Structure formats: C-alpha cells, structure tokens
A and B are shown apart, each in its own frame.
Chain A
Amino acid sequence: MKLSAQYNAFKTIAIKEFLRFIRIWLQTVVPPAITVALYFVIFGELIGSQIGDIDGFSYIDFIVPGLILMAVISNSYANCVSSFFSSKFHRSVEEMMISPLPNYIIVAGFVSGGMLRGIVVGVAVTIVSMFFTRLEIHSYGVTITVFILTSILFALAGFINAVYARTFDDISIIPTFILTPLTYLGGIFYSINMLPEFWQQVSLANPILYMINAFRYGLLGVTDIDLATAFIIIILFITGLFIFALQLLNKGVGIKP
C-alpha cells in the first residue's frame, strides 16, 4: 500500500473515530466536564479553602492540572477501549482486517480517535476550570506536549485492553481497579512531598504521577519530580505499548481464530 493510500486510510479511521464520539457528545464530552466542575466546587471551593496553599498555590489552583489530566486519561482510554471492543463485538473490525491496511495504521487510527477525545474533553474541562480559577500557563510547550503524549499513552492502553476483552465487563475492570486508583494516587489532590518517606518512594512507581507532575509544571511551574525523567517515562511507555499493540494485531490475538 502506497504512503498516500496509507495516509487516506489513517484519515478515514481518524474521522470515523472522531465522528463516533462527537455524534454522542452529550454522553462523551459533557459528563466529564460536569464531574470536574463538581470536583472544583467540592474540593476547590468548599474543602480547599480549609486546606490552605500547596507549593505556593491555592488548593484549587494546585488541583487544576491533575483534574484536567485525569479527564484526558480516562477519556482517551475509554474511547479506544469502547470503540475497538465494539468493533470486535459488531464484527465491523473485519472491514479493516480484509482490507490492505497495515496493522500500524489500524493502531494509529484508533489511537488518534482516543487522543482526539482526550483533547476535546481536556479542552472542555479547561474551559470549565476557568470559571473557578485563573489559569496562567507557565510553559505552553510542556503543557501541550504532556497533554498530547498522555492521551496517546492511555489510548494505546485502552486499545490493548480492548484486544484482550471478551465481554463488556472486561473493558471496565482495568479502568475501575487499576486506572482510577493509580490516577487518584498519582498526586492530583496532593503533593507527594506531603507523604511519609516510604509512601513517597511507593508513589514513584506510579507512572501517572510523572504525567500529572509534568503537566502541573507546564501549567503552574511546580513539580515533585524531574521533568526529563517524566518525559522519558512517558515516551518509553508509549513506545512499549505501541510495539505490544502491534504484535497483538500481527498475531491476531482476540480477533482471528
């Protein structure tokens, strides 16, 4: 397949994936914005006022980056896992399997859908946050890069989950039991410097901590961890997950008997 044809095929999947979630924006874009607004009201306005400053920022300012990134993480993951699983469920994935599409275009296409939803929801949540706090972006470059890389990473993770999933239960187990706890314990609501030494070390094993802190650096200019380490970890995860996803498709795991 020529490069131009591959580009057309990639664009087709990306547009299809974009239309899929934007067509049902009331289910996909609005709920996370409302959820985050509630976080701002409860944790920012009501409880936050009792907590005081963290790293020189008011509590509501401190939690903004984490809440935005949490929405990006959960939505890019959810989009990819539900889209690819439902295409397996409807068997419409066969439309792609019989075509000359290379597997890396299939992965890239679905991931782009997850990334787009992460971005759309992230922007919606950012707009909501502006009603509660005044955002002054410290570094546009770091903010946008982390924003995009994180959505790619979790879209890839969602894709892999969907490849293995056999039932609708299987696509909610990982978000419920792994992703949500890791996100909440990834320093959205606190700085790891507030934890005892032992738990600080344990927290360092949580990859989401690096993303949230890198994003917080982009927005606020403060971070608990080294920025370079955060980028290396994110890129390593993306590379590893992409290769893994590709191998699963090449072997036909979950899609070819």
Chain B
Amino acid sequence: MKALEINDLHKTYGNGTQALCGVRLEVNPGDFYALLGPNGAGKSTTIGIICSLVNKTSGKVKVYGVDLDLDPATARMHIGLVPQEYNFNIFEPVGEILINQAGYYGLPRKLARERAKKYLKKLELWDRRYNMARELSGGMRRRLMIARALVHEPRLLILDEPTAGVDIEIRRSMWNFMRELNASGTTIILTTHYLEEAESLCNNIAIIDKGVTVEQTDMRSLLDRLNMETFVLYLEREINELPDCGDYHVRLVDNSTLEVDMHRGHDLNGLYARLSECNIKVVSMRNKSNRLEQLFISMLKTNNQK
C-alpha cells in the first residue's frame, strides 16, 4: 500500500487555466519525498487537491489506500499540512490554535490539550502558548504551523516550502526536526525551492513542470544521471601555472583555486594523486553548483523543448 497514490490528476480553474494535465505520483510509506518544480508548475494545486482545499477536475487520489472521493474523512485523518502561507487566525492565542485543530479531528478536549502541550514543547513554543499568533516572529509562525499539522499525529505530513524566509539557524533546526519525524515513521512530502534542502533531506523525488510529472525516481538514481560535476579546489599555496593533470579538465580560477570538471568514470583520487605529484596540496573543496540544481535545470530545459 502506498502512502500516496495520484493518478492522472487534472485541474482546470474557472478562468480556463490548466494547472494540472495528468500528474501522477507514488509515495511509499516512510518516504522523505521531494516534490519539486518551478513556480506555477502545479505543486501547490496538487497539494491543495490532496488536502481537499482545491476541487479536482478529474483523476484519482488515494491516501494510505483510501480513495479521497469515496472516504474523504478517513483519507484526511492521515494527512497533516504545513502550507506555504500563514493560514491561522492571528487574533487567536497560540495554544488555542492547536487545541482547536486537534478538536477538528475529533479529539476530546483533554487529549487535545495534552497534544497541544506536547507539540508546542517540541517546537519550542510552549512559553508562547498564551500569546496571540500575531505576536510571533516569522520563524515561530512557521513552527506553529508545523505543530498544528502534527497535533492529530498524521501518517503523511505535507510541507509546502516550510523553510521559506526563515534564517539559517532555524532552517537547520527544522531540518533536524523533520529528519527525526521521518525516522519515527512519518511519511513526509516536501516542496521547496532550496534544492540543497531537497538533496540533503529526501530519498525520493518527483519533478512537476507545466502540470505534468516530468520525473519520479529515487534521489540516488537521479543524481547518478549527472554526467559531469564541477568541483572547486582550494590550494594550500599559490601556483602560477596550470599543473599537468592528464585527462582531467582543470582550470585555474586564481592563484590558489582550481576548477575541475569530473566526468562520469573519473574519480577524485586520481586527480589528487596527479596534484600531489606536482607538489600541490588541496586544503578544501566544494561542488561548484548544487548537483540536483544542475539536473533540475536540464530537465526543465528538456521539458520546454518538448
């Protein structure tokens, strides 16, 4: 049984805009799944349909084997959503937002209070429980939405750009929290424009463009498709001319920085050996650009040419 199964999903808005033209997705239980695509690709519409916030035109959505059309209540019980934009009443106290959300899922008041306490503490918002939501900072509001999405303990958590606009420190702590959550068995679908975030967190990936699924695979196989990666090497001492590196395509960026294009089949050990022979020591290195980003852009280009 899949955690989420979407088949041939179509959505045409009232003004005639075709947002989805046959999206298909398969998310396995326990996945940390990246749903990527450029702006306007149809990610938010897809999420909206899964979460019953948007009416679909046609297609099938199943959540843990439950058809959203046949048994929407059970399907919704499994889903938690952290939307892209704030969607809570800013004039409500933080604690009440969570207690009410738990109540909407049918939890008795006492249990709702316990759950609210549990997740407010986990998301470090317990001290703010009596504050009105409008008094929270941007990062706290994001954490509030995560706590709210978890209060009924869903099996499938959908995070629509959860780290957009938050500082590095909070982003890192949110990453850790999401990892822990996934490790504890919650299936996570993540949409993000930070591709390093998707690469670092997710094990499976789908790319949507112009309302269709362009790619759906696991992260490892996708990254393996990269034919060439460019690395930047920082050298211990300055050099004036390019060393002889044989088959490796090396460029001198400045006196202490080299760039090397690594084609599939090449390995870094060979390059290091060559550089050692020339008495050049590498002190650090990095990818010139994010690997997923390179693939993402090339896939979108290919899709545009179709």
Please say whether chains A and B are actual partners in one complex. yes
Q: A9 contacts B73, CB within 8 Å?
A: no
Expressed in whole angstroms, the Cα–Cα distance for A195 and B284 within the complex equals: 96
Known: A8-B108, A12-B100, A257-B55. A98 touches B76 (CB 8 A): yes
Q: A100 contacts B106, CB within 8 Å?
A: yes
Q: B107 contacts A8, CB within 8 Å?
A: yes
User: Which residues, 99 to 154 on A, are CB-close (under 8 Å) to B?
Assistant: 99-102
Known: A1-B106, A256-B55. A100 touches B85 (CB 8 A): no
Interface 1/0 per residue, A171-197 and B, CB below 8 Å: 000000000000000000000000000
Collect the chain A residues with CB atoms within 8 Å of residue B83's CB.
94
Expressed in whole angstroms, the Cα–Cα distance for A86 and B92 within the complex equals: 12
Expressed in whole angstroms, the Cα–Cα distance for A91 and B81 within the complex equals: 14
Known: A95-B88, A252-B55. A100 touches B105 (CB 8 A): yes
The chain A residue with its CB closest to the CB of B154 is A98
Collect the chain B residues with CB atoms within 8 Å of residue A98's CB.
51-53, 76, 79, 81
Query: Does B130 count as interface, using CB distance less than 8 angstroms?
Result: no
Q: A6 contacts B53, CB within 8 Å?
A: no
Expressed in whole angstroms, the Cα–Cα distance for A112 and B212 within the complex equals: 44
Collect the chain B residues with CB atoms within 8 Å of residue A99's CB.
76, 101, 104-105, 152
Query: Does A92 count as interface, using CB distance less than 8 angstroms?
Result: yes
- Out of B53, B72, B108, name the residue touching A94 (CB < 8 Å): B53
Collect the chain A residues with CB atoms within 8 Å of residue B13's CB.
257
Known: A19-B96, A95-B100, A99-B101. A1 touches B109 (CB 8 A): no
Q: B73 contacts A97, CB within 8 Å?
A: no
CB distance from B192 to the nearest CB of A (A): 20
Known: A4-B106, A94-B83. A100 touches B89 (CB 8 A): no
Known: A8-B109, A16-B96, A98-B76. A257 touches B54 (CB 8 A): yes
Collect the chain A residues with CB atoms within 8 Å of residue B101's CB.
95, 99
CB distance from B149 to the nearest CB of A (A): 9
Query: Does B74 count as interface, using CB distance less than 8 angstroms?
Result: yes
Collect the chain B residues with CB atoms within 8 Å of residue A1's CB.
73, 106
Query: Does B77 count as interface, using CB distance less than 8 angstroms?
Result: yes
Collect the chain B residues with CB atoms within 8 Å of residue A41's CB.
none
Interface 1/0 per residue, B110-151 and A, CB below 8 Å: 001000000000000000000000000000000000001000
Which of B53, B79, B101, B112 is most buried by chain A, counting CB atoms within 10 A of its CB? B53
Total contacting residues, chain B, CB less than 8 A: 38
Query: Does B265 count as interface, using CB distance less than 8 angstroms?
Result: no
Expressed in whole angstroms, the Cα–Cα distance for A91 and B84 within the complex equals: 12
The chain B residue with its CB closest to the CB of A7 is B106
The chain A residue with its CB closest to the CB of B11 is A257
User: Which residues, 66 to 108 on B, are CB-close (under 8 Å) to A?
Assistant: 72-74, 76-77, 79, 81, 83, 85-90, 92, 96, 99-108
Known: A97-B53, A256-B54, A257-B14. A5 touches B89 (CB 8 A): no
Q: A9 contacts B89, CB within 8 Å?
A: no
CB distance from A101 to the nearest CB of B (A): 5
Expressed in whole angstroms, the Cα–Cα distance for A241 and B92 within the complex equals: 29
Collect the chain A residues with CB atoms within 8 Å of residue B77's CB.
100
Q: A12 contacts B55, CB within 8 Å?
A: no
CB distance from B303 to the nearest CB of A (A): 25
CB distance from A235 to the nearest CB of B (A): 29
Query: Does A87 count as interface, using CB distance less than 8 angstroms?
Result: yes
Q: A97 contacts B52, CB within 8 Å?
A: yes
CB distance from A9 to the nearest CB of B (A): 5
Collect the chain A residues with CB atoms within 8 Å of residue B108's CB.
8
Known: A8-B103, A8-B106, A8-B107. A100 touches B55 (CB 8 A): no
Q: A9 contacts B103, CB within 8 Å?
A: yes
Which of B52, B87, B101, B104 is most buried by chain A, counting CB atoms within 10 A of its CB? B104
Collect the chain B residues with CB atoms within 8 Å of residue A256's CB.
52-55
- Out of B51, B105, B109, B148, name the residue touching A11 (CB < 8 Å): B109
The chain A residue with its CB closest to the CB of B72 is A100
Q: B74 contacts A100, CB within 8 Å?
A: yes
7 other A-B residue contacts (CB within 8 Å) besides A8-B106, A9-B105, A91-B87? A8-B103, A9-B103, A16-B92, A92-B87, A100-B104, A256-B52, A257-B54
- 22 sample A-B contacts, Cβ–Cβ < 8 Å, listed by A number: A1-B73, A4-B106, A5-B106, A6-B106, A8-B107, A9-B103, A9-B106, A11-B109, A13-B104, A16-B92, A16-B100, A92-B89, A95-B148, A97-B52, A97-B53, A98-B51, A98-B76, A99-B101, A99-B104, A100-B104, A100-B106, A256-B52
| Chain B residues engaging chain A, CB cutoff 8 angstroms | 13-14, 48, 51-55, 72-74, 76-77, 79, 81, 83, 85-90, 92, 96, 99-109, 112, 148, 152
| Chain A residues engaging chain B, CB cutoff 8 angstroms | 1-2, 4-6, 8-9, 11-13, 16, 19, 86-87, 90-92, 94-102, 252, 256-257
